[in-house]
Amino acid sequence: MIGLISATAAGAVARDRLAAAWPDLTRVYDGPVGDAVRAAFAECEQLVCFLATGATVRLLAPLLGDKTADPGVVCVDEGGRYAVSLLGGHGGGANELARQVGALLGAQPVVTTATDSVGLPGLDMLGLPYEGSVAMVSRALLDGEPVALEAESVWPLPPLPTSPQGPYTIRLTDRAVEPGEREVLLRPPSLVVGVGASKGAPVAEVLGVIEDALQEAGLSAKSVAELATVDAKSDEPGVVAAAERLGVPLVTYSAEDLAAVEVPNPSDAPLAAVGTPSVAEAAALVRGGELVVPKRKAVRTDGRPAMATCAVVRRPGRGRLAVVGLGPGARDLLTPRATAELRRASVLVGLDQYVDQIRDLLRPGTRVLESGLGAEEERARTAVAEARKGHAVALIGSGDAGVYAMASPALAEASDDIDVVGVPGVTAALAAGALLGAPLGHDHVSISLSDLHTPWEVIERRVRAAAEADLVVTFYNPRSRGRDWQLPKALEILAGHREPTTPVGVVRSASRPDESSRVTDLGALDPATVDMMTVVTVGNTATRTVAGRMVTPRGYRWQENPREGSQEEAK
């Protein structure tokens, strides 16, 4: 919960805007400001104070305890110009909250955390449990001193400016080791613990066998990603409580799935009880990995039979491929999600001119693999190959990466051995449509006129189908120096079904500094004025030009009886 506190009418206006935007996330604290701050500090994970920073500091000072437990605090000035991350920038999430508040209120986020200020990811913000000298090693990274990265397993980390050797170390390990004086340990969630339990197995016994197994194998409990068992034990109290105490999810599988897993130590007892010859080992191994602790039984001191078993598997890190749409080119049309993925990636793959658009957003240490036009399939293969090595990869494309861009060749190469994330972007058709008016207000279709990958016969059939179906048509890749006849042919096909006065929008370099747009009609359009940087949108039979803008009504009935259509639409 985010506590909201204000002292003046001006602050209350901004406070209420935030409360209205986040009704389920915020709570307004009224009354004397001191009492409100104390109450919110005790009850909320984060605070937004619409107060002067000095006043906020004085109110917070007596309340401060531990930086790992104190809430994050953002301070917004009375004029709503700045959202200052005041307390708990990393641990309390105040840095990100300042950015979100700033975006919502139109305020400039102010973040002074050293790593954030220079674009370095905080070692305590990687989403991994950590131990050791975070401040010391972070300072070394900031000062440009050599910091070695020792990864005992590959994991999709964000870019870190590390060296092969150095007096400081970042070590990625799931082993139960203590950090050195100049070392940070990062704990990857690489261990899966399979658990079998008899009915009524006490949580102490389930936890005991897990802890003993990890300790004897020299493994850290902080790297346990999940407990796994058979469906029949999904509500076994001792197993459920063990997962809760370890702070990990409980994942269950059907007996049929577990019975199909080859294990070194099958048994007749679980086969008779739940229908599979193995629970602990099979549940840990069902999604692959290395069995590092074979099945072991709990040790009881009362001489009674063990009621719990466990096995431990180490799963390899899965690479991550984010296919990112950059939008049509303008920075303010690049989505926040796309920006976050660019900053998360340790490897960026893309067309050289697109890389240049966003190079300033990359974190220091990002490895950039760029190539020129015509190498789309090579870029897709490269991105997938880098992800398979365990890296965090961003493959970029213009517009939306799934529309005439890099998503389809990349996903055709990718299998289920990597994680794939799609990040949508504003397409060229949408950017052009916004400039033209509302040409896409009814059913519409996009067709690429490039026959480099699609035979013209197929393209022509699609154009004819769109013409006969009276769809608004947006033409991508309409004309180049080597392809100058396809657009006239496509327009000729449309002209057989539409009047010469049908509105046509021509937009070049939408959202970029040299953008241009114009509305003409089907009979007047000169294809020679169109190039590969242009998107051509041809209206349907209902599209009209209104005040110089293309408008395609949502329903044809509007044309016949506007009042009736509006009433029907309102329903």
Query: pLDDT tens digits for the chain (571 residues)?
Result: 999 998 888 888 888 888 999 998 999 999 898 999 999 999 999 999 998 888 889 999 998 887 778 899 999 988 888 999 998 887 788 888 998 898 888 888 888 876 666 667 788 778 889 999 988 998 888 888 899 999 888 889 888 888 888 899 999 999 999 999 999 999 999 999 999 999 999 999 999 999 999 999 999 999 999 999 999 999 999 999 999 999 999 999 999 999 999 999 998 888 888 889 999 999 999 999 999 999 999 887 777 888 999 999 999 888 999 999 999 999 989 998 999 999 999 999 999 999 999 999 998 889 999 998 878 899 999 999 999 999 999 999 999 999 988 999 999 999 888 999 999 999 999 999 999 999 999 999 999 999 888 999 999 999 999 999 999 999 999 998 888 899 999 999 999 999 999 999 999 999 999 999 999 999 999 999 999 999 999 999 999 999 999 999 987 555 555 444 444 443 4
Please state whether the predicted TM-score (pTM) of the whole model is above 0.95: no
379 dihedral zone (left: phi>0; alpha: psi -120 to 50; beta): alpha
Cα(538)–Cα(445) distance, rounded to whole angstroms?
A: 10
* Residue 298: DSSP 8-state: P
CB 189 within 8 A of CB 199: no
Q: How many CB atoms lie within 10 A of CB 120?
A: 20
Give me the count of residues in the chain. Answer: 571
Q: Which amino acid does the sequence have at 71?
A: P
CB 509 within 8 A of CB 515: yes
- For the chain, give the longest Cα–Cα distance: 95
DSSP 200-221: T--HHHHHHHHHHHHHHHTB-G
DSSP 55-118: HHHHHHGGG---TTTSPEEEEE-TTS-EEEEEE-SSTT-HHHHHHHHHHHHTPEEE---HHHHT
33 dihedral zone (left: phi>0; alpha: psi -120 to 50; beta): alpha
CA angle 452, 456, 459 (to 5 degrees): 100
Cα(80)–Cα(96) distance, rounded to whole angstroms?
A: 17
Cα(150)–Cα(224) distance, rounded to whole angstroms?
A: 20
For the record, the structure tokens of 88 come out as 């708990």
CA angle 46, 15, 20 (to 5 degrees): 95
